[in-house]
Structure 1
C-alpha cells in the first residue's frame, strides 16, 4: 500500500507501467465475452486498441483476437476474419502461447462457417503465414 500512497515515477513499482488506460478496457471486454455480450465486448476492445501504441504488439495481437471472437459471436464472420487476419500478421512476430490459444479458440467455431469465403480466405492466409514465420513452429491446431 505504501507505493499507492506516494505517487511519482521514482516511487512506483516497475510493473505499474503495464496498467495503462487500455488495461481496464481489456478486462471489461473479457468479462463481456464471458457474459455472452459480444457487442459490449467489441466496443471495449476497440477502445483498448485505440489506446495501445503500435509498439505494444502482444497486447494489440491479444485484443485483435478478442475483437475477432466478439465479432464472430455477433455473426459478423467477415469482420471477425478481418480482425483475426490483422492479429495473425502481428502474431507472426511473437512467441506468445496465450495468443496462439486465443487464435485456436477463435478458429474452433469458425470451422462451421467453412462455406463462407471470408472463413476460407482466413484459413488459407493462416496456413501461408505459418509456412513463412514462427507460426509454423507454434501449437496452431489444424483440422
Structure 2
C-alpha cells in the first residue's frame, strides 16, 4: 500500500520485518551546548520565575470551578420555545460502567447538576478512545 512501510519476509526465522525509515520525532543527540551555557540557564530560570505566579493561580482553581479568564466564558444562547434534543446513541455495554462512574464523579464534584424536570434539551454523551504518544489506544474518555 502507498505510504506504508514495505514489509519483507525473513525466511530463516519466518518473521515479517518492517523497516521504518522515518527519523525519530525527538532528536536522540545530547543536550545542545547552548542549553548548558550559564546565560541560557539563567534566562530559563528567569522565565520560570516569571510564569510561576500564573502557574500557582491556575493550580489553585478548584476542580469544580470555572476558568476565571472572562474571554474563556462560553455562551450557548437558545431562543425561547426552541428545543435542542439529540437522541443518545447506543453505547457498548462494556463502556456503560465507565460512563456511569464518570458522570457520578462529575456530579459529586459539582461539575454537573441534575437538569430541572421537564427540561426539553439534551446533548448526548459520547466516548472516544484516545491514543498516547506512541499511537497506542489508552482509556476511553
- TM-score range (shorter-chain normalised) is under 0.3
Q: Which has the higher contact order (CA 8 A, sep 6+)?
A: 1
| Structure richer in helix, relative to its length | 1
Q: Which protein is bigger by CA-based radius of gyration? A: 2
| Length-normalised TM-score, structure 1 | 0.25
TM-score (norm 2): 0.26
